[in-house]
Structure 1
Amino acid sequence: MQRYARKIFVASGLRTPFGRGGGALADHDAISLSVPLARAMADIARPDLFVWGTVIPSLGWSNIGREVWLDAGLDPTVPAFSAVLACSTSMVAAFAAAGMLGGSADLALVGGAEVMSNPPIGLKLDVSKRITKLFRTDPPAAIAALQALTADDLTLPVKGWANRITGRTMGDHMEETAQAWGITREAQDEWALKSHQRAVAGWERGFFDDLVIPLPELARDANPRADTSAEKLAALPPAFDKSGKGSLTAGNSSPITDGAAALWVATEAGLSRLPAGTPFAELVDQEIAAVDHHVDGLLMAPSFAIPRLLARHGLRYEDVALWEIHEAFAAQLLANVAALEKPGWTKDRAGVDFDFGPFPWDRVNPNGGSVAIGHPFAATGARDLSQAVKELSALPSGSWAIVSVCADGGHGTVALLRAP
C-alpha cells in the first residue's frame, strides 16, 4: 500500500545540541533558539514550505513558524505555518508537509523547538477578565490590580506541564501504566543505562557530528552521562509516586530539556536540491492513533498505531531492521513493546488479526533515545526522524524502519520508512 500519490522522502536535517533544563540554553525562547537552526538549514537549500512547532504556549506569538522564518531574515515569500501535537509536534509537521507536496512545492523544511527552562506564567481566566476590563475603564486601577497579584491569581507550571483534563503529569500517569504492565524498576534502569551508553558512544564515534550544529553556548548534547552506572541509577529516589510503589526516577525518565530540531520532507524533485550524500529514506506510510487514556494509559497509543501500520504492509516485527522509539520514560517504551508482545493484544485491543512474531529488541534506538539525549517536546519528532534516516542509510537498500512517538492526550504517531 502506498499512502501518497507520489513518492515522498524524509532527509536528515540538523538540530541544536540539547541542553539541560536551566542550563546553557535557558536564556532563549523557542523562537530565538530556532533562528540559527532555520538559517543553517536554509543555507543548505531554499524550501518551498516551512512548518514549525512548539508545545508550551506563549502569548508572544500565534504562528511560531512565520515568526521564526522572518526573524531569521529568510525569504519572506516562503509560506510558513505552525503545527502542534504535544510530543509528536514535529512528526505531525512532517506528515502535514508530506500531504502538501506536489505542484509548486517539492521541498519542505519542518521541525520544532522547546525551551522547557522558561515556561510562561499566565493569569487565571477570571483574573485576566477583571484586569482587562479595568484597563478599558480605569487604567490606574488596572495597574494597581497587577501590583496586587498573588500566586493564587497565576497559572504556574508547577505540575510539570500536567494534562489539563486530569491535572496529573505524564510521569504520574506512567507510574500507573508501569504498575499495570508489571514494568519493574530494574528493567527501567537497565534500559536507561543502555540509552546513555549508546548516546555517549554515538557522540564518541562521530555519529552526531553532521546532525548537530554547535551554538555559542553549547557544542554537544548536555544530557548523556558517560559516568552513569546501574548502581547510580538504582540509588535515585522515585520522582512521581512516593508512596513506596513508585519506580520512575529522574534517571529513567527523559529530562527537562531545551533544544530545536529540523529535517527535510521532499518529492524526488525536492531531493535533487539537497547536497549529494544527504541521508534520505522514503516515507512509505504513517499512522496516528488515539486512545481513551482512562482505559489504556496516557502514553500507550503507539501500541495501537504500530500493528495497524505494519499489518497494512504485511510486515512482521522481524522484517523491520530499525526501531527508533521515543523514550518519554523507559517504562513507556517497555510498556508499549510489552503490549506488542502480549498474546492477543494486537487483535483484541488494536483490532489487527496478524501474526507479528517476536520483537527484535536488539534493533531499538542504536544511538540512544530521549532518556539520555533529552526531550524538548516539539523537537523530538524531528530528532527521531533525522536520527532514524541516518541510521537507516547504513543498512541495505529496501530495509524498513519504524519511528514511533507517544504524545500527551493519549496519542501516538508512527512513521514507516524504507531505505532507498
Structure 2
Amino acid sequence: MSGEAKLDDIWLAAGVRTPFAKVDGGLSKLDVFGLSVPVVQAMMAQLGGKKPDFLTWGSVAPDLGFSNLAREICVEAGIDLTIPSFTTILACSTSMVSVFSAAGMLDGRGRELALIGGVESMSHVQVGLGHRLSNWLRHMLQARSLGDRVRLLGHLKFGDVRLDIPSVQNRATHKSMGEHTEEMAKTWGIPREEQDAVALASHQGAVRGWNEGFFDDLVIPVGGVARDLIPRADTTLEKLGKLKPAFDKTSGRGTLTAGNSSPLTDGAAAIWVATRKGLERLPAGVPRVRLVDWDVGAIDLWHEGLLMWPAYGIPRLLARNGLTLGDVDLWEIHEAFAAQVLCHIKALEDRDFVRQKAGVETDLGRFPRERMNPNGGSTALGHPFGATGARILSQAVKELAVRPAGSRAVVSICADGGQGTIALLEAG
C-alpha cells in the first residue's frame, strides 16, 4: 500500500533520542520506561505548554507487564493524560510505520500534530514460561482442592517445562536475521571486503557527525550517558578484517561479523509528524521537511531474501514520482547488516531485477553511494528495534532541511518477515 492522500500537507520535524549503547552496556540499568520517559518529556518541553493531538510508541521485544506501552509511558512521564496514545509494532520498521499511520490520521480537523517514537531495552528482555507450562500453572492456581492439585501434578510432563526466550529469529524459518542475510550475501555475491568498507564508512560518518556537532540537538543525556557509545574512532579495515564470522561459522564462506552487523542495542527515539498548521506549535528552529510519499510492503519470505523488500519498493516509489536513483540527494538506508545494504544496492542497479521483480521498466541508473548515510548508520550508531525508524527519519530530516528547497531524500528500513518501509522526503 502507498500513501497518497493529503501528503501535500504532511511534514516531519526532527525529534530527540537517547544515546544508543550496546546491550548490557552503558544504558543497561534503564528499562523501556527509563529510556522513553526522558525522550517524551524533552519532546513535550518543545511545545511550551501545548500538546500533540495523539502519541504513538512502539517496541519489538514483548513484555507481559503491560499491553499498551504508549499509554504507560505517558503516565510515567507525567504528561497531560487527555492525549490519546497507542502502541505499534512492525519489527525494525516499528516507529517508521507509526509515522505513516500518523500521516493518515492527521486531517486538519483538530488532528494536526503527532508525537511518534519507539524504544528497545535489550538489556531487559523478559523470559516467559512456555504455553503448556503457563496453562498448567494457571489451572493449578485455580484448583479448589488438594485432590485437584494432585491430579494436575500428574498432567505435567517433563517436556512441558520450558522457557520462552525471545530471540532475533524468524518464527517461521527458525533462522536468525544474520543467517538469512548470509544467504542473501551468497546469492548476490557480496564479498566480505565490501561489507567491512560499508561498516568502516558508517563508523567514520558517525564519529565525524559527533565531532562536528551534528548530533548535539538530536541526542539528550540519559542515565549519565551523553553520546552514543558504539561508534569507534579507532576502527580500520584491518581490524574489521580480523573478526571471525558471526553466523556462518562452519562453511568457511561466512562473511557477516560483529563488525559489519548492527549490534543489539538499548535506546529510545522520537519524531514529530504534523500538518503545516501543526508545525506552528513547534519552535521555529526545529528542522522540518515534507513527506512526499511512502510505502509499506512485503515479499514471499520463503522464496526471496528475507530483508530484501526495500529493493522491490524503492524502484516503485521512484517510478511513480518520476525519479531515478541519481535524482535523490540523500539516502538513509538502515544498516541491519552491511551485506543487506549492498544486496539492496546491487539489486537497484540490476535492470533485470528492477524490471522482473519490482515491475519497473525505467532505467534507474547508478546508485550514488557517496550520498548514503553521511552521519553514520545502524552498524555504527546501533539498532534499538523500536527506535530505529524515529532515529533514522529524524537524522534524515536534519540532514535534508539545510539543503536547497526541492532536495530529496529516500529513507529505507528492512524488517523481519520479508517486510519493510520506505519514505520520500523533500526540503521545503
Asked if Structure 1 and Structure 2 have the same fold, meaning a TM-score greater than 0.5 normalized by the shorter chain, the answer is yes
| C-alpha distance in structure 1 between counterparts of 2:370 and 2:320, whole Å | 24
Query: TM-score by structure 2 length?
Result: 0.94
2:248 maps to 241
Is it true that 1:133 corresponds to 2:139 in the alignment?
yes
Q: Distance in 2 between matches of 1:15 and 1:82?
A: 18
Contact 1:20–1:257 (CA under 8 A) maintained in structure 2:
yes
* Counterpart for residue 122 of structure 1: 128
Q: Distance in 1 between matches of 2:273 and 2:165?
A: 37
Partner Cα separation in structure 2 for residue 370 and residue 215 of structure 1? 20
**2:276 equivalent in structure 1:** 268
Partner letter of residue 89 of structure 1? T
> Are positions 1:192 and 2:194 aligned together?
no
Whole-Å separation in 2 of the counterparts to 1:395 and 1:362: 16
Distance 1:108 1:76 in 2: 15
- The amino acid of 1:87's aligned partner reads C
User: Equivalent residue for 2:83?
Assistant: 78
**Contact between 1:388 and 1:403, CA under 8 Å: does it hold in 2?**
yes
Cα distance in 1, alignment partners of residues 193 and 3 from structure 2: 41
Q: Of 255, 259, 266, which aligns to 1:258? A: 266
Q: Which moved more, 1:21-30 or 1:279-288?
A: 21-30
- After superposition, the C-alpha distances for 1:56-99 in whole angstroms (9 at most, x for unaligned) are 01001101111111110000101100111000000000000110
Deviation of 1:138 (Å): 5.6
Shift of 1:31: 2.2
- Aligned letter for 1:324? E
Q: Do 1:63 and 1:81's aligned partners in 2 also have CA atoms closer than 8 Å? A: yes
Cα pair 2:62 2:126 within 8 Å, conserved:
yes
2:360 corresponds to which residue?
A: 352
8 A contact 1:19–1:218 mirrored in 2: no
Partner of 1:14: 16
1:138 and 1:329 map into 2 onto residues whose CA distance is: 54
Match of 1:25 in 2: 27
CA gap of 1:357–1:32, structure 2 versus 1, over 3 A, is same
Which of 148, 158, 163 is the equivalent residue of 1:154? 163
Is this contact kept in 2: 1:54–1:89, CA < 8 A? Answer: yes
Give SS of 1:377's match: coil
- Any idea what the Cα deviations from partners look like across 1:294-319, whole Å, max 9, x if unmatched? 21111000001101111111001111
Q: Any idea what the Cα deviations from partners look like across 1:239-266, whole Å, max 9, x if unmatched?
A: 0000211100000000111000000000
RMSD: 1.8
Q: Which of 61, 69, 82 matches 2:66?
A: 61
Q: CA deviation at 1:217?
A: 2.6
CA contact (8 A) 1:299 1:408 kept: yes
TM-score (norm 1): 0.96
Kindly provide the CA deviation profile for residues 128-166 of structure 1, in whole angstroms up to 9, marking residues without a partner as x. Answer: 111111010069969x98xx9999510123xx4211111
SS at match of 2:235: coil
Q: Find out whether 1:113 has 2:114 as its counterpart.
A: no
What secondary structure sits across from 1:296 in the alignment? coil
Q: CA deviation at 1:4?
A: 2.6
Given candidates 284, 301, 304, the residue that maps to 1:296 is 304
Q: Aligned equivalents of 1:2 and 1:293: distance in 2?
A: 24
> What SS does the aligned partner of 1:263 have?
strand
**Aligned position for 1:38:** 40
Letter in 1 for 2:282: L
Give, in whole Å, the separation in 2 of the partners of 1:99 and 1:156: 36
Q: How far off its partner does 1:181 sit? A: 0.4
Indicate yes or no: 2:226 matched with 1:219.
yes
Shift of 1:411: 0.5
1:217, 1:68 → 2: CA distance? 21
The runs of at least 4 consecutive aligned structure 1 residues that moved more than 6 Å come to 148-151
CA distance in 1, matches of 2:46, 2:137: 48
- 1:347, CA displacement in angstroms? 1.1
Q: Provide the C-alpha distance between the structure 2 equivalents of 1:258 and 1:152, rounded to a whole number of angstroms.
A: 30
The verdict on how the C-alpha distance between 1:248 and 1:152 changes in structure 2, with shifts beyond 3 A counting, is farther
Q: Does 1:204 align with 2:211?
A: yes
Residue aligned with 2:9, SS: coil
The separation in 2 between residues aligned to 1:64 and 1:204, in whole angstroms, is 35
1:154-211 deviations in Å (ceiling 9; x for gaps):
0123xx4211111111001100000000011100001100000110000000000000
Post-superposition offset of 1:397: 0.6
Distance 1:4 1:28 in 2: 40
Change (3 A) 1:116 1:139: farther
Shift of 1:28: 1.9
